[in-house]
Structure 1
Amino acid sequence: MIRTDLSRRHFIGASAGVVGALTLTTAGEAAAAPADGRTWSTGRSANGWPVLRTAESFRIEGSDRTVRLAGGDAATVLLHVARRFHYEIDSLRSGDVHGWTDDREVKADYESNHLSGTAIAIRRLDYPVGSKGNLYPNELIVVRDILTELDGIVAWGGDFTTPKESHFEIAVRPGHPRLKGVARKIRRWETGPGDEGAGAIDAFDPRRRRAVRAFQRRAS
């Protein structure tokens, strides 16, 4: 499915740099078919976090939306992802962000990470399991910048063999030192003067674009 609704935010920062993002994905690219739904039966989600019986609700700063997540560092990081989407891609609307759930039916293993409150899906109906090529090039630039900024502790479903472009998950185990370091950085931004972090980032800045390319080379 290709989105056709264009908002003012879609064009912020769109410039010659947008062209380079076309190499990251191709609209309409064939994707693996989603697996049949099944019940996740173990006590840990696919990323190694414990399944929760319930989860705390957090407000997404800059919006009046909330999402239920595992607390602590995981929530700090995933809320940062949601904030950047809201500020830099498009304003979040009611029902846009899906976090923790106790529904054990999954179409792909990574959807089990919702059970541990360590994944969010932003507009999951627009970007479902098995669909790829839904984001505009400038939106992809923002997504890649987010992943780079978070130093690989968040994985994006658009990179998975069975894709889901709405999906963002914690990609490291509980207590991982890199998770602690990134969460500490985000909290410092949140308590700082406001000139860093979500709402103060230009993903199209040439220095950030170079950092994204360097990160992708290391990751590959």
Structure 2
Amino acid sequence: MNLTGLSRRRFLGASSAAAAAATLVDLGGAGHASAGTRTWKSPKSKNGWPILDGATSFSIEGSGQKVSLIEGDAATILLHVARRFHYEVDSLRTGDVRGWTSDRKVTEAYESNYLSGSAIAIRPVWYPVGAKGNFYPNELVVIRDILAELDGVVAWGGDFTRPKESHFEITPKPGHPRLKGVARKIRGWNIGPGDEGAGAIDAFDPRRRSASRAFERRAS
């Protein structure tokens, strides 16, 4: 089978999801799957944000898709992540992006951040918990550029001990000055002349690559 471009990405994502499902079957099927989850009982998510009873639905620019998030700076930043993914990694389709949820069942503690609307999962079926190596090198360049551009206020699940490459979360607590500063920068791009921000970024520019590598070394 000869797979190139998007078709290969779809194959890799489907393979990861299938592999995860096969692992659960090998461990004893659905009963064991539920044993791998727990109920998050804290009034705050792992990153320190309050658990929400509901969240606001936001449009992801250029994609026709929506995602539910906590209002304010966190939404501004996570929407920027989703927008850049759509423009620079692959087009988002129906069901690709998940944000706030009321389901308190989590496999890893960081998944509690969905409960506070302070995290998103982009294609969680393609890139589930425990699966790694699903992105092409050029796609990783974009992801690393996004993380560097946002000055560490967003963490990527691909870097976690037990990875989830679909996962992006806000790291500072509510009201943190760095969070406010990054959100202000993004809002400036959004109302600017159109030659900044998502859709107008070259993640492969040598200066951006250098800054991205430097940030990754500092963060590791």
Distance, in Å, in 2 between the alignment partners of 1:123 and 1:219 is 25
Instruction: For 2:203, give the aligned amino acid.
Output: A
SS at 1:86 equivalent: helix
Deviations for 1:9-44, whole angstroms, at most 9, x for unmatched residues?
A: x9xxxxxxxxxxxxxxxxx9xxxx998101000100
CA distance in structure 2 between the partners assigned to 1:217 and 1:47 by the alignment: 22
- Computing the radius of gyration from Cα coordinates, the structure with the larger value is 2
Distance 1:217 1:156 in 2: 15
Counterpart for residue 184 of structure 1 = 184
Number of aligned residue pairs: give it: 196
After TM superposition, list the pairs within 5 Å mapping 1:94-173 onto structure 2.
94-173=94-173
User: What secondary structure is seen at the aligned counterpart in 2 of 1:110?
Assistant: helix
- Within-5 A mapping of 1:33-72: 36-72=36-72
1:79 is matched by which residue type in structure 2? L
- The TM-score, its normalising length taken from structure 2, stands at 0.85
More helix by share: 2
Q: Distance in 1 between matches of 2:56 and 2:128?
A: 25
Aligned to 1:22: none
Partner of 1:213: 213
Task: Give the Cα separation in 1 of the matches to 2:55 and 2:118.
Answer: 10
**Does the alignment pair 1:89 with 2:89?**
yes
Return the letter of the residue paired with 1:169: E
CA distance, structure 2, for counterparts of residue 42 and residue 5 of structure 1? 45
Cα deviation code 1:57-112 (max 9, x no counterpart): 00001111000000000000000000000000000000000000000000000000
Structure 1 runs of 4+ with >2 Å offset: none
* CA–CA separation in structure 2 for the residues paired with 1:134 and 1:7: 12
In structure 1, the residue matched to 2:78 is 78
Gaps of 5+ in 1: 11-27
Q: Which runs of 5+ in 2 are unaligned?
A: 10-15, 17-23, 25-32
User: Whole-Å Cα distance in 2 between the matches of residues 162 and 210 of structure 1?
Assistant: 27
TM-score with structure 1 setting the length: 0.85
The CA deviation at 1:148 is: 0.2
Please give the alpha-carbon distance, in whole angstroms, between the structure 2 residues aligned to 1:118 and 1:139.
Answer: 23
Q: What is the CA distance between 1:206 and its match in structure 2?
A: 0.4
Secondary structure of 2:74 counterpart: helix
Output the CA distance in 2 between the equivalents of 1:182 and 1:151. Answer: 7
Q: CA RMSD in A?
A: 2.0
What residue in structure 2 maps to residue 7 of structure 1?
Answer: 6
SS of 1:168's equivalent? Answer: strand
Deviations 1:108-155 (A, max 9, x none): 000000000000000000000011011110100000000000000000
Alignment correspondent of 2:29: none
Q: Structure 1, residues 175-217: CA drift from partner, whole Å, max 9, x if none?
A: 1100000000000000010100000000001000000111122
